[in-house]
C-alpha cells in the first residue's frame, strides 16, 4: 500500500516567545516492510533543522526557528510504500539490546490492577499472551479523547478503562513487560478502514518481542496486529521517547496547539486538505489517539 501523510501542527502563543526549539521525531525510517518514497518537513518560520539519530534508532530533527515566534506552523508530508506482514517486523535498525525494553518507565509502571491483568492474560506463551491482551483491551476499554492527557500513565487509564491510543499502548507495555515480554511504544500513522482520512492526531501502538518471530506490532486500540495500513515512525520505552514533537520556549504566555493529520492510501479518493484554520484544538502537549 502506498500511504500518503500530511501532518500539520500549528502553535500560537499569546505573546511572542523566544528561544523556541523543538525535538521532532516525525520522519520514518525504512525497513523490510516499509519503504520511504519521499518525505519532507516544512515550516512557515525561518530557522535551522538539524538531523540526528537517537539511541532507539529513530531519526530526529532539532528545529531552531529564528527570532521571536508568535505563530509556528510545522508541516510534515510524504509517501511510504508498505507491505502486509501481519505485524511481524523485519530489517528494523536495532541499536538497543532487547532486554532494555523490559524496563518499566514512569508512564508504564504497573499498579496492582495492572499486575492482576498481567496474571489474567498470561498464557505462558508470549504470542498468545499478547493476542489476549490486545483483545482484552479492545473489548474492555472505551476510546475517549477527553479523559486522559499526554502525561497520563497506564495505571490511571486502566483504572478508568478509557483513554486514547497512547493510553492503550502504555497499558499494553506495562502488562507485557511485567510478564517478561520486551515491549516498546510506537508512534506512527494509520490508514483507517472506515475511510476517515482526517484525524485529530497521529496514531500509537505497541511492539512486543516474540520468540522465533522477532518484533511484532500489536494495536490494542483497534484490537489487531498491525497491517500494511500502518506507518511506523518512532519507537521508545513510552510516549516521551517517541513523541512526534517535544518543544520548549521562553515566554510566550498561553500556548494553543492545533494538529491535523490526513493519512490515506494513495489510490484513495483524496480528502479535502484541512485548512490550518479549521483544525481541532488540543492541549499543550500533543497526545496520540
Closest CA to 204 of 156, 241, 169, 163: 169
- For residues 132-151, which are near another protein according to CB under 8 A? 151
**Only segment of 18-26, 85-93, 131-139, 225-233 that touches another protein (CB under 8 A):** 18-26
**Only segment of 48-56, 85-93, 123-131, 272-280 that touches another protein (CB under 8 A):** 48-56
Chosen residue from 7, 56, 185, 218 binding another protein by CB under 8 A: 56
Chosen residue from 2, 29, 35, 64 binding another protein by CB under 8 A: 64
**Contact call for residue 255 and another protein (CB under 8 A):** no
How far apart CA 184 and CA 104 sit, in angstroms, is 10
Contact status, residue 30 vs residue 88, Cβ threshold 8 Å = no
Which residues contact residue 176 at a Cβ distance below 8 angstroms, ignoring those fewer than 6 apart?
129, 130, 133, 182, 183, 206, 208
How far apart CA 34 and CA 55 sit, in angstroms, is 21
Which cell numbers in the block locate residue 147?
479523559
Q: Output 140 or 253, the one with its CB closest to another protein.
A: 253
Ramachandran region of residue 72, left (φ > 0), alpha (ψ -120 to 50) or beta? beta
Question: x/- binding map, residues 149-168, to another protein, per CB under 8 A?
Answer: --x-----------------
Residues that bind another protein (CB under 8 A): 19, 21, 23, 48, 50, 52, 54-56, 60, 62, 64, 95-97, 99-100, 102-103, 151, 237, 240-241, 246-248, 250, 285
Amino acid at each position: 500500500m502506498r500511504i500518503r501523510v500530511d501532518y500539520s501542527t500549528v502553535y500560537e502563543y499569546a505573546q511572542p516567545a523566544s528561544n523556541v526549539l523543538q525535538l521532532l521525531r516525525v520522519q520514518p525510517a525504512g525497513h523490510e516492510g516499509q519503504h520511504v518514497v519521499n518525505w519532507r518537513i516544512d515550516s512557515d518560520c525561518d530557522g535551522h533543522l538539524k538531523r540526528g539519530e537517537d539511541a532507539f534508532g529513530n531519526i530526529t530533527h532539532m528545529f531552531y526557528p529564528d527570532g521571536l515566534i508568535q505563530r509556528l506552523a510545522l508541516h510534515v508530508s510524504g509517501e511510504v510504500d508498505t507491505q502486509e506482514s501481519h505485524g511481524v517486523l523485519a530489517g528494523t535498525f536495532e541499536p538497543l539490546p532487547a532486554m532494555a525494553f523490559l524496563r518499566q518507565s514512569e508512564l508504564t509502571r504497573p499498579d496492582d490492577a495492572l499486575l492482576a491483568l498481567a496474571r489474567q492474560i498470561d498464557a505462558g506463551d508470549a504470542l498468545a499472551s499478547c493476542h489476549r491482551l490486545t483483545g482484552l483491551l479492545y473489548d474492555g476499554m472505551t476510546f475517549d479523547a477527553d479523559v486522559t492527557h499526554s502525561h497520563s500513565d497506564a495505571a490511571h487509564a486502566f483504572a478508568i478503562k478509557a483513554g486514547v491510543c497512547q493510553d492503550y499502548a502504555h497499558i499494553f507495555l506495562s502488562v507485557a513487560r511485567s510478564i517478561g515480554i520486551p515491549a516498546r511504544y510506537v508512534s506512527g500513522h494509520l490508514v483507517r478502514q472506515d475511510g476517515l482520512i482526517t484525524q485529530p492526531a497521529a496514531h500509537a501502538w505497541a511492539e512486543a518481542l516474540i520468540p522465533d518471530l522477532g518484533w511484532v506490532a500489536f494495536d490494542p486500540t483497534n484490537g489487531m496486529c498491525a497491517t500494511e495500513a500502518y506507518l511506523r515512525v518512532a519507537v521508545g520505552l513510552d510516549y516521551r521517547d517517541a513523541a512526534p514533537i517535544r518543544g520548549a520556549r521562553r515566554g510566550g504566555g498561553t500556548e494553543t496547539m492545533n494538529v491535523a493529520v490526513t493519512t490515506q492510501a494513495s489510490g484513495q479518493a483524496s480528502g479535502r486538505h484541512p485548512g490550518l484554520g479549521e483544525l481541532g484544538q488540543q492541549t499543550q502537549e500533543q497526545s496520540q489517539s
